Amino acid sequence: MASRARGTLPFDVADRRLAAAAWGRLTEPGDPAAGVLRHHLGDSEALDWLLHLEAREAIGGLPAPLADVASARAVQWPRAVARWLPRLATLDIRRELEVLHRLGGRLVIPEDEHWPQQLDDLGVTAPAALWVRGELTTGPGIALVGARAATSYGEHLAARFAHDLAEEGFVVISGGAYGIDAAAHRGALAAGGRTWALLAGGVDRLYPAGNSSLLSSIIDSGAVISEAPCGTAPMRSRFLQRNRLIAALAEATVVVEAAWRSGAINTASHAGELLRPLGAVPGPVTSMASAGCHRLLRENNAVCVTDVAEIRELVPGGAPAPQQHELDPGLLDGLDPLARQVLDALPARSSAAVPSLVRSSGLSSIEVRAALGRLELAGRAARDGAGWCRLRD
């Protein structure tokens, strides 16, 4: 495609929505230089500055409008501009927006009512806009993430957690991938709840292809979301940047199952940087699929979670997990030391006379008789002919 003259674009740069969408095409996700420029100038003004950039400003390194901004002085502007200009030469964001609209999607920008305010915690790496298919309904969200090569143990827990969380009104957030992500989305859908899938590529490319049916179902009852315009291919670096959105959107992140090195650990790292609560589900110590979770528990101050109540407790202001069910009382519970010693000396399936109990317990005859009286009153022992027997184990 032929380049256009510098300083012109085939759309109105002053249009805030078009300018925000354009920055998603010009830059890679999480570009801090673009974030600094946009934050201080605004999307339209930043795009206009780039369009009319003088060569001497690029060489000098610091955009004139940001001369007094400390964060701007730390940016290597010549390198940043060199990244953006090749895409600027052929930029026409209207094409990507037309694709989005044909798919029934919409662009959401920070000024919109349904913009997730928690993304603002990302600071200068916050996205300029979100490309959405489905509905960004309000409500607290929990991120359930984990390995693509998940075990049946991990998938079962992810689906169960997601189902119960969705029933309680939480939005289940994950990455739409195979394994734990897919199990979490399916669990939320099975409960008739809401779930969001964050993609590394454009929302017109339901990736991975093997999950296209699942992602279509998510669009019908939740949302498929990306910060990348339609037509963007998923790449490894974009997956890693996508993970920061998952962590930012969620009130808390739970790693259900993950290897020592995995994308889920990367998501957990973003959650930690954002000071979001982090939970990890323990697994068998012999399972490499849970090695990452154990690493988080050991090194990253993750909270061990084993059920939905404990996950809910991670959410700021969430109700504390209920106490575990009381265990059945043990044989010797609720007894004084002498009574415990005598009851322990009583045979489990036969009776014993007092002299035999004196020998087996190591107590005196008076102590044994007194203890037997207390055990009888407590319903723990009874006379059996010339001896005594237990009433229950």
- pLDDT tens by residue, 246-275: 999 999 999 999 998 888 999 999 999 999
Q: How confident is the model at residue 329 (pLDDT cuts 50, 70, 90)?
A: low
Which contiguous run of DSSP H or E holds residue 171? strand 171-174
Whole-structure pTM over 0.85, yes or no? no
Range scoring the smallest mean pLDDT among 44-53, 199-208, 313-322, 362-371: 313-322
Q: Tokens 């899938």 correspond to what residue?
A: 197
Whether pLDDT at 324 is above 60: no
Spatial distance between the Cα atoms of 18 and 11, rounded to a whole number of angstroms:
8
The two tokens of residue 254 are 């739970």
- CATH of 337-390 among 3.40.50.170, 1.10.357.10, 1.10.10.10, 1.10.287.130: 1.10.10.10
Whether pLDDT at 294 is above 80: yes
Q: How confident is the model at residue 234 (pLDDT cuts 50, 70, 90)?
A: very high
- CATH of 117-314 among 3.40.50.450, 3.40.50.2000, 3.30.1060.10, 1.20.1050.40: 3.40.50.450
Whether pLDDT at 326 is above 60: no
Q: Where are the beta strands (DSSP E) in 78-170?
A: 106-108, 130-134, 141-146
The two tokens of residue 295 are 């690493």
Give the pLDDT confidence score for residue 300 in this predicted structure. Answer: 85
3-state SS of the chain: helix, strand, coil percent to 5? Answer: 50, 10, 40
Query: What percentage of the chain reaches a pLDDT higher than 70?
Result: 92
Range scoring the smallest mean pLDDT among 2-11, 45-54, 235-244: 2-11
Residues 6+ apart with CB under 8 A from 123: 35
Give the pLDDT confidence score for residue 56 in this predicted structure. Answer: 53
Give the pLDDT confidence score for residue 53 in this predicted structure. Answer: 79
Q: How confident is the model at residue 303 (pLDDT cuts 50, 70, 90)?
A: very high
Give the pLDDT confidence score for residue 156 in this predicted structure. Answer: 97
User: Considering only CA atoms, which of 83, 98, 87, 97 is closest in space to residue 3?
Assistant: 87
